[in-house]
Chain A
Amino acid sequence: MQLINQSEIQERIDLLKDQDLYIHLEMTTGAYAAHFDSTKHPAATFITNAVIRYSHGSISGNGPYRVGLKMLQGWVYSEGLTHYEESETERLILAGHDSQGKLVVSLQLSREPF
């Protein structure tokens, strides 16, 4: 994974618009959050291989970044993205890692199921 290059991600978002895509969207504090610190509220959610289509999408911020994808009826939104996979040219693989390198958020789009 590499640090996000904003203009490159924008190009990739544009390449994937107006078509059916499989999405993986996730956010997690980790299953051990409350075990290590009882004041923490453990939460995690993910959805994998739901089909979406967006007509307009963009990446914004100065890092960590936000991505918003405008669908016919609704939005996909993700904040805290820091890294992307440069070698994946057909799919968009974005993730947000905290200062310890742990994954906190991920947003992935692909024409084929994950």
Chain B
Amino acid sequence: MVEEMKSSVESHILVILPHPDDEAFGISGTLAKHVQNGTQVTYACLTLGEMGRNMGVPPFANRVTLPEIRKKELEESCRAIGIQDLRMLGFHDKTIEFEDQDLLDGHINALLKELNPSVIITFYPGYSVHPDHDATGAAVIRTVGRMPKAERPPVHCIAFANNIEEIGKPKVLNDVRDFLKQKMASIQAHKSQFQAAELLGSKPLEDKEIQDRFGTEHFWIYPFE
């Protein structure tokens, strides 16, 4: 059964992703929609994406300046979406899978205790391509899995690996066509990472091709045992 995320019932969404820009394509429309409905959103971003390969075209960043540039891009993206609470956890890009799991899980557990979110959004472990994505999702699932069953918030997962048919169809489809302005502003905020002009061309947000491509966001609900 496919369901729309119940816009009105979410009190607090906790987003846990490893890189600035992980929010832009997959979930920014969903978040903007909830923010407009009065939902509180906390975005815990584990790293500053300091090992990213994209430095702008032509390159305006380098390995030394990239972390600070991406931090500012992330803040701009959050403003565009309307995210009220951004936490940068200070881990190093590309190292999440090697981190001390107790340290990672401890950070996530502290957020759960503090915020008591009604839903969590993260990557589906094993189906999210980048090792940092998979390791972040795995840490969230481990930590939530330790909570008593009745207290666990649902975990909505992003997945985009080539083998996602293994986990079936996404269970949550969000129509975000009315929030493409915020979504495009989020994408455009990450200037070092995306060439937004190439993505959009000269097409308006009402264009059918743009709406088909960006207008729906989908999530898998993690099946805890």
- Would you list which residues of chain B between 114 and 158 have a CB under 8 Å from chain A? 129-132
Give chain A nearest CB distance to B25 CB in angstroms: 13
Q: Classify chain B's interface size.
A: 20 to 34
Q: Can you list, as one digit per residue, whether each of A9-28 has a CB less than 8 Å from chain B (1) or not (0)?
A: 00000000000000010101
Give B contacts to A, CB under 8 Å. Answer: 51-64, 94, 129-132, 161-162
A interface residues, Cβ below 8 angstroms from B: 1, 24, 26, 28, 30-32, 35, 38, 44, 46, 83, 85, 88, 91, 93, 95, 97, 100-104, 106, 108, 114
Residues of chain A within 8 A (CB-CB) of B51 are 26, 28, 46
Q: 4 shortest A-B CB distances, which residue pairs?
A: A101-B57, A102-B53, A103-B53, A1-B59
Q: Which residues of A contact B64 (CB under 8 A)?
A: 85, 88, 91, 93, 108, 114
Quick one: given A35-B161, A35-B162, are A28 and B62 in contact (CB under 8 Å)?
no
B130 x A95 contact (CB < 8 A): no
Taking CB atoms, residues of chain A closer than 8 Å to B61 are 1
Q: Write 20 A-B pairs (CB below 8 A) sorted by A numbering.
A: A1-B59, A24-B63, A30-B53, A31-B130, A31-B131, A31-B132, A32-B129, A35-B162, A38-B162, A46-B51, A46-B94, A83-B62, A93-B63, A95-B62, A97-B59, A101-B56, A101-B59, A102-B55, A106-B62, A108-B63
